[in-house]
Structure 1
């Protein structure tokens, strides 16, 4: 039985304050990932602090504008579902390798040209959609949740690389937030249940504030207002960089397709090929726009599928407001800096629940597949291969760079294996497309 949605895709919360509160939890789920990519790339390239800040501001502004377009739609661009756009870790490896040789200008120029792969690829999505029947889609949705869950576990333990990783205090705070989110969802009514994520995070933040665990240094140092400058770093177009980024965009098409399928399941919305093409086109056009605005490439975030699954708020108008909040965070860096002060264990408690909800959605979909030996083989092998890369990324350490780039994501590996097995094994399952 499908979960009852509190707000359908086209619904609008009757009160603006309610819509802002609901949109805030999407912001909290996405902001850390959006900021992390420019910080990682900037740190690897040893950029000065002011240039890293410029990258972060551009990423926030670009993410906000493209989120609005993805949710609202502009002509053929935008899937018109509750999607949050953000800088993607799928481009970090290629970006750093290009940046070390050609600087940030090389990353941005390569991204601009590489985004054409996604823009052109969008026109083939009605065909590609047919390679994602129910069994394949179920595997991809499950792998998205399984791949994100370790991220939440790392947050709950204090963050990757933390000296006190796994400290009892971190786990206790994460457990406190997790328990509150469960209570709000299960026993809360109306807006309390719908905003369970933001209420849980806010409660955890207050607890950490009382314990003296909040560091406001970044807030004090952040500028109050800043306008990201287009072409701030300039652009260069090295052939090697364009090839590397184009490969990353090809991989992202597979991952984003899976994310849209997961979002369709969470919002109880059919995703025909033409609608999928509009979403992929927005990812490509958005990444080209981001490059001009001096931001790393963008893609649709899977994290926010968990927010929809957990809260039952599937309104694209709510997430449009999230885009507005991201835009404001890009113009007022002090706001983004304030959100970044949220301790990782607080995010971990809420994230564990959100990402596990995606796993649960995938399991429900898997349970709906036809019980046959063929489907069991597809599910078992593709999940096994996807998890192999997810839990043991060093498995590919001795492989050529091209192989690591293409198969470095468990979601991509699982999706490709599932598609291949569905094509090769007798009794192929077809996905009949329908008009948008």
Structure 2
């Protein structure tokens, strides 16, 4: 797209500028394509862990469709909070909000099997965590120093390491097939590999929209391949309605302190991630530093968006870093472009048939996509750690935090004598690694060499 036809260089750097509508709409949809798969994937994973089923034969399968809908609808609403805002809420910048991967290691054990919280406890935790996140906006600047790249990079790395197992299990056929001959079959792996190969070809050998939406197109190709293999059930699509409204407290209300503590802690991490995204947008799109008002407004919107998500049966929201890169790539800083993308998400989120199509995707297709996405989360953590000065102090902090966090994740039985609440918080590996790294970073003296 010719940038000269969109406006002058100064106009393109202005968040309040609106390009011609005929060009603004495709740019807005491009933002949606860049984040779409990452946005709906957490809902599919958590719904699957809760037993809502991938086979579409489960009586709870409509709940998965609903959660997918809400991931789109509430991402759109949260994005509007950022781009349009009200009062102190919102950065008034082109920030795209979406469902966060970071919370998955805490959410899965909360709802899987017997779970410690169930969906009611999880959604209550999301609401309270979102409210806590909102109040971080009043003093986010004061806690940034406690989360340098050593800590944030380790946390992101731990998130990725906690998730990569999920991608392999999905590609092999999903947890329900474990122990059966079909698990890990060549047919299952072929579907996942089609997604991976198509994604890589598009990402590195095409440009423009195809490259930006490589994972989405890879999933679509994998979906059609699975359809040829007879692995797609279209019955839920036919039975899904054309419209449904968000339902408050869809899954109920139940206080569970393990989930609440976990959500509040991860809110701090998510808030710092958003600060980084706001800074990336203003630097990449406008060539300036972000203001304190923009950072606090973005944090307010982050928290409010998450609280609203929990209220209507959605999952925690955060700013999407891939869209920050897209702004740098296109050079278009207009918040109104992102607003148009948000409206598109809201419309999709109100149409259950759209969610049913996504929910009908075989788990092996999703496996190919999440292998890439979760691997990229891990790689992002490594990239953040590249900014760390690797002296003895920082190496010790990293070594102890990673060893304990990853070790507890791999050997959860080591904490079998702890109360159930403590087990959920500790065996994710994420929280102990984060707490240890933050505390050690604050108390150990800096080295002079």
The reply to whether TM is greater than 0.5 is: yes
Q: Do the aligned residues in 2 keep the contact of 1:283 with 1:299 (CA within 8 Å)?
A: yes
Q: Do the aligned residues in 2 keep the contact of 1:38 with 1:296 (CA within 8 Å)?
A: no
Count of matched residue positions in the alignment of Structure 1 and Structure 2: 412
* TM-superposed deviation, 1:135: 1.9
Partner SS, residue 97 of structure 2? coil
Mapping 1:213-292, distance limit 5 Å: 213-230=231-248, 241=255, 243=257, 246-257=260-271, 259-260=273-274, 277-292=296-311
Moved more, 353-362 or 213-222: 353-362
> 2:166 maps to what in 1?
151
Partner SS, residue 317 of structure 2? strand
Report the aligned-residue RMSD.
4.2
> 1:422 maps to what in 2?
441
Moved more, 270-279 or 197-206: 270-279
| Superimposed CA distance per residue, residues 227-249 of structure 1 (whole angstroms, 9 cap, x where no aligned partner) | 2244667x76x7xx174554243
* TM-superposed deviation, 1:165: 2.6
Structure 1 residue 200 corresponds to structure 2 residue 215: no
> 2:6 maps to what in 1?
none
In the superposition, relative to structure 1, how do residues 174 and 41 fare at CA in structure 2: closer, same or farther (>3 Å)?
closer
User: Could you tell me how far apart the structure 2 residues matched to 1:59 and 1:216 are?
Assistant: 22
Q: Which TM-score applies when normalising by structure 2?
A: 0.74
In the superposition, relative to structure 1, how do residues 244 and 173 fare at CA in structure 2: closer, same or farther (>3 Å)?
closer
Q: Do the aligned residues in 2 keep the contact of 1:39 with 1:56 (CA within 8 Å)?
A: no
Structure 1 residue 404 corresponds to structure 2 residue 423: yes
Moved more, 369-378 or 69-78: 69-78
> 1:387 maps to what in 2?
406
Partner SS, residue 84 of structure 1? strand
> 1:179 maps to what in 2?
197
> 2:7 maps to what in 1?
none
Q: 1:138 aligns with which of 134, 153, 167?
A: 153
* TM-superposed deviation, 1:186: 1.8
Moved more, 343-352 or 9-18: 9-18
> 2:8 maps to what in 1?
none
Q: Which TM-score applies when normalising by structure 1?
A: 0.76
In the superposition, relative to structure 1, how do residues 22 and 107 fare at CA in structure 2: closer, same or farther (>3 Å)?
closer
In the superposition, relative to structure 1, how do residues 94 and 344 fare at CA in structure 2: closer, same or farther (>3 Å)?
closer
User: Could you tell me how far apart the structure 1 residues matched to 2:273 and 2:140 are?
Assistant: 14
Structure 1 residue 338 corresponds to structure 2 residue 352: no
> 1:127 maps to what in 2?
142
* TM-superposed deviation, 1:41: 5.1
Partner SS, residue 300 of structure 1? strand
In the superposition, relative to structure 1, how do residues 110 and 358 fare at CA in structure 2: closer, same or farther (>3 Å)?
closer
Q: Do the aligned residues in 1 keep the contact of 2:129 with 2:264 (CA within 8 Å)?
A: no
| Superimposed CA distance per residue, residues 53-111 of structure 1 (whole angstroms, 9 cap, x where no aligned partner) | 766655653343124324654443346533313695445666887877xx95x876776
| Superimposed CA distance per residue, residues 308-332 of structure 1 (whole angstroms, 9 cap, x where no aligned partner) | 7799869886765664444234311
> 1:366 maps to what in 2?
385
